[in-house]
DNA sequence: CTCTGTGCAAAGCGTTTGCAAACGA
DNA sequence: TCGTTTGCAAACGCTTTGCACAGAG
């Protein structure tokens, strides 16, 4: 169980009830988009504003508390920052899974091939999950 | 040199001067975003509309004449469809290079790990190019 | 008490849509 | 000629902004 208040303080963010709930929701829904987050947050704070959600996502991205996952043709989703990993998305049911695929060798190959010095990489697979394949 | 008219016909697209110029521009600018494409197109067709650019990009994506590259925090760029490959982007000067990195082993690993059947993958590296590193 | 965050409404930006006229085959 | 494309303007959806008030430290 994540200590949300400690995490906010660690990232130098003022602790507000809205923020605590946002981070709690993110920790219980591994990948969530802005609208889903707003809808869930609304259950606890019926007066909450979408602007608050956006402002908080942006500041948490800047503080590296969150990371953003861009999925082709879908809304961006957000997850609590953790070790680098890749994602696989089901195009039918939108399920998203983390994958522990090591991209470090690829990264070296990419640096060699391009002459760039590379900071970040993003790897995402799109397809159909096991249960959608069956049906 | 690409035969643009033949390519349009092959993809069952009506040949119009605007389309010919759009595909020609795409073939001479490997990675280009909507605004850049519009600006270049405007040089030949001062009456052209942004809507025409969008409509054509969308239909060419659907016909698999083009593919879209999503770069974190930047505008999408478009390229003429070719064999699957990955990209590296310089965050300072926005240069984009194609990389011939083989993701097929990764794809198998991803299928195994997730139980998904995977159709497409996207791999993008962000960093700094050689000349921006020097300066 | 001071500074930051929240909620609201409006603005901003990129993209899509509907329609009439122009054009391709 | 008939069906498609173009250009225009309006609409749309998502995100950001400015401001006054409320809340955190």
Query: Does A20 have pLDDT greater than 80?
Result: yes
How many C-beta atoms surround the C-beta of residue B18 within 10 A? 18
What does pLDDT average to over chain A?
96
pLDDT at residue A60 in the model? 98
Distance from CA of A83 to the nearest CA of B (A): 16
Residues of B in contact with A115 (CB under 8 A): 129-130
Which residues, at least 6 apart from A86, have a Cβ–Cβ distance to it below 8 Å? Answer: A98, A99, A101, A103, A122, A123, A124, A125, B110
Residues of B in contact with A123 (CB under 8 A): 103, 106, 121-123
For B57 and C16, how far is CA from C1' in angstroms? 13
Q: Which two tokens stand for residue A42?
A: 């609304």
Query: Does A1 have pLDDT greater than 80?
Result: no
Secondary structure of B1-50 in the HEC alphabet? CCCHHHHHHHCCCCCCHHHHHHHHHHHHCCCEEHHHHHHHHHHHCCCCCH
Which residues, at least 6 apart from A67, have a Cβ–Cβ distance to it below 8 Å? Answer: A61, A78, A79, A80, A81
Element (H, E) at A24: helix A17-28
Nucleic strand C within 7 A of Cβ A48: yes
pLDDT at residue A102 in the model? 82
Percent of all residues in chain A with a pLDDT value above 90, rounded to a whole number: 93
- Per residue in A72-112, pLDDT tens? 999 999 999 999 999 999 999 999 999 998 888 899 999 99
- Per residue in B92-101, pLDDT tens? 999 999 999 8
What's the pTM value of the predicted model, to 2 decimals? 0.94
pLDDT at residue A21 in the model? 98
Is the minimum CB–CB distance between B43 and chain A shorter than 8 Å? no
Strand partners, B32: B78
pLDDT at residue B102 in the model? 81
Query: Does A135 have pLDDT greater than 90?
Result: no
Is the minimum CB–CB distance between A2 and chain B shorter than 8 Å? no
For A61 and D5, how far is CA from C1' in angstroms? 43
Place A69 in a pLDDT band, splitting at 50, 70 and 90: very high
**Contact assessment for residue B79 and residue B71, using Cβ atoms and an 8 Å cutoff:** no
pLDDT at residue A105 in the model? 86
Nucleic strand D within 7 A of Cβ B15: no
Percent of all residues in chain B with a pLDDT value above 70, rounded to a whole number: 100
For B112 and D16, how far is CA from C1' in angstroms? 42
Could you give phi then psi for residue B56, rounded to 5 degrees? -70, -40
- Per residue in B79-135, pLDDT tens? 999 999 999 999 999 999 999 988 888 999 999 999 999 999 999 999 999 999 988
Nucleic strand D within 7 A of Cβ B97: no
């Amino acid at each position: 169980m994540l200590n949300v208040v400690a995490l906010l303080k660690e990232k130098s963010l003022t602790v507000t009830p809205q923020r605590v709930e946002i981070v709690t929701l993110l920790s219980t829904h591994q990948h969530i988009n802005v609208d889903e987050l707003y809808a869930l947050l609304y259950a606890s704070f019926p007066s909450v504003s979408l602007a608050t959600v956006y402002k908080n996502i942006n500041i948490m991205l800047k503080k590296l508390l969150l990371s953003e996952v861009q999925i082709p043709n879908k809304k961006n989703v957000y997850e609590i920052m953790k070790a680098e990993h890749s994602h696989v998305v089901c195009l039918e049911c939108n399920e998203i899974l983390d994958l522990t695929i090591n991209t470090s060798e690829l990264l070296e190959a990419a640096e060699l091939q391009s002459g760039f010095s590379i900071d970040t990489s993003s790897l995402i697979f799109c397809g159909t999950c096991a249960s959608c394949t069956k049906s």
